[in-house]
Amino acid sequence: MKTLNKLMSLTQAVELIHDNDTVGIGGNVLHRAPMALVREIARQEKKGLHIVKTAGAMDVDLLCLAECVSSVDAGFISYETEYSLAGHYRKAVQNGLVKGNEHACYTVISALRAASAGIPFMPVKGLQISDLIEVNDYFTRIQDPFSGELVTVVKAIVPDVVIIHVQEADKNGNAKILGPKYDDVLLSRAAKKVIITTETIVPDSKFAFSQDKADIPHFLVNAVVHMPKGAAPCSCPSKYSIDRNNLDAFKAIKNKEELKDYLDNFMTEDYRRY
């Protein structure tokens, strides 16, 4: 049987992302962030991206430093305790370069669920007394038509493209996440396009003959990049933990010029063809 081969290079995959796109990012804080794709977005100098993530860290921080970002819709943007704040994101928001659209992580999830179901908004039970409703145009209150009570709703967020790093994928785009899936499966359902980087390319027959089927089916996926260490220096469960030296090096970066060197140092690894 003929199959659709979606294997391509990192460069080709990132060319599917356009300036001003809404980009959803998989993983959570320093876990399974699609860092090779993030680095290539920075190298290709994408502009005006609208980033969507429940809880982001280095990925969003790097893209803010690279000046690729126009807005961030997220519940939490920070490294966890040990690596402290996302300084470049914070600075960009405080300088007015990036609009920080604050959500609860759950309202990001609700907005993505709305996108996935093709509906324009989603009611959210928990957002009740909050200044967030008044200051943001993506929240509002409406009447429940059945009880007459007020309910807060969040506007759908439809990512133009979602970038996800997985441990296993076949060349057609069937992709399997080992360990915590975070919000990646939902992201793949909400987006118009999905770009996958994968630690390993598995044979087409692997998922068919396993009880462990793919989490993301091929027909949602537009690009597959074979990219071992594609989440580094972030962690990739069952494959590797964080790369502390590299994280320290990144945290020491002060400006865009130093970022260029940092990105250049990854080029051999990111552009290697497997």
Binding part of the chain for other proteins, among 14-22, 37-45, 129-137, 249-257 by CB under 8 A, reads: 129-137
Q: Which of 1, 118, 209, 268 binds a copy of itself (CB under 8 A)?
A: 118
87 binds other proteins (CB under 8 A): no
Residues 136-165 that bind other proteins (CB under 8 A): none
Q: What is the smallest separation between the CB atom of 212 and a copy of itself, expressed in angstroms? A: 7
SS (H, E, C) 53-81: EEEECHHHHHHHHCCCEEEEEEEEECCCH
- Check residue 76 and give left, alpha or beta (phi > 0: left; psi -120 to 50: alpha): beta
> Cα dihedral angle (201, 202, 203, 206), rounded to 10 degrees?
-160
Q: What is the smallest separation between the CB atom of 11 and other proteins, expressed in angstroms? A: 25
Q: Which of 19, 45, 80, 212 binds a copy of itself (CB under 8 A)?
A: 212
Q: What is the smallest separation between the CB atom of 169 and a copy of itself, expressed in angstroms? A: 18
Q: Which of 39, 43, 46, 155 binds a copy of itself (CB under 8 A)?
A: 155
Residues 97-126 that bind other proteins (CB under 8 A): 100, 102-107, 109, 115-119, 124-126
Q: Which residue's CB is nearer to other proteins, number 85 or number 142? A: 85
Q: Which of 26, 33, 83, 111 binds other proteins (CB under 8 A)?
A: 83
Residue 80 binding: pick among a copy of itself, other proteins, none (C-beta 5-8 Å cut-off by kind): other proteins
**Exposure b/e, 4-34, CB count within 10 A at least 16 = b:** eebbbbbeebbebbeeebbbbbbbbbbbbbb
Tokens of 206: 């692997």
Q: What is the smallest separation between the CB atom of 202 and a copy of itself, expressed in angstroms? A: 16
Q: Which helix (H) or strand (E) holds 130?
A: none
Closest alpha carbon to 120 in 102, 149, 142, 135: 142
150 binds a copy of itself (CB under 8 A): no
Q: What is the smallest separation between the CB atom of 106 and a copy of itself, expressed in angstroms? A: 9
Spatial contact of 77 and 93, defined as CB atoms under 8 Å apart: no
Residue 95: partners with Cβ closer than 8 Å, 6 or more residues away? none
**CA dist., res. 135 & res. 58, Å (int):** 27
Spatial contact of 106 and 126, defined as CB atoms under 8 Å apart: yes
146 binds a copy of itself (CB under 8 A): yes
Q: Which of 170, 197, 224, 225 binds other proteins (CB under 8 A)?
A: 170
Residues that bind a copy of itself (CB under 8 A): 110, 114, 117-125, 140, 142-147, 149, 151, 153, 155, 211-212
